[in-house]
Amino acid sequence: MKFNRKDKTLETERLQLRLFTAADAEQVRSLCDNFTIFKTTLNMPYPYSLECALSWMANHERNFTEDKLYELAITNKNNGQLYGAIALSNQRLHQNGEMAYWIGKPFWGNGYATEAARAMLEFAFEEKNYHRVYARYFKSNPASGRVLEKCGMVYEGTLKDHVYKLNTFEDLIYYGIVK
């Protein structure tokens, strides 16, 4: 992973993780306006409008600059195709953060989430000196758990029936990794 401080980008073999711009809003809307994506994420609204995308992206650069939250577009480093997003919170007091991500359904199964997550973990530990990173996912979305395992994260626990979504309770599964 290569981190470019000036441009606020991370680069991997196939991907560039970069700040979102207003020009991404329609693509974000298109990828996120998907019921399956909605079902597998904790806080994403559905239907997902252009206004949702613009509102969500409004503070990304400021949050990054102020070391509060790093929210990056997952893109093809050669042609710029937007695949999804990855985020890392910064809880400075505890030297840790939560990692979260989503990949647009047309791009599932290509390893983009794993590649982006590995880069974000390296960024957390090497550039931001975190001690620990954690992530969580719905039990009904085991593919997300496989992404975390491939990154070396380990199961830490389950919060039973923790989230009520779509008229059912969801278990929230936690994974973590220590530097």
Q: What is the pLDDT of residues 111-125, one digit of tens each?
A: 999 999 999 999 999
**Mean pLDDT (whole number) for 106-114:** 98
Contact present, 155 and 136 (Cβ < 8 Å): no
What per-residue confidence (pLDDT) applies to 9? 97
Domain range list for the chain: 2-131
- The whole-angstrom separation of Cα 51 and Cα 48 is 8
**Mean pLDDT (whole number) for 103-111:** 97
What per-residue confidence (pLDDT) applies to 89? 98
pLDDT band at 150 (very low <50, low <70, confident <90, very high): very high
**Mean pLDDT (whole number) for 33-47:** 94
Nearest to 42 by CA among 176, 177, 167, 164: 164
The CATH number of the structural domain formed by 2-131 is 3.40.630.30
- Which residues does 130 contact at the CB level (< 8 Å), separation at least 6? 95, 96, 97, 124, 179
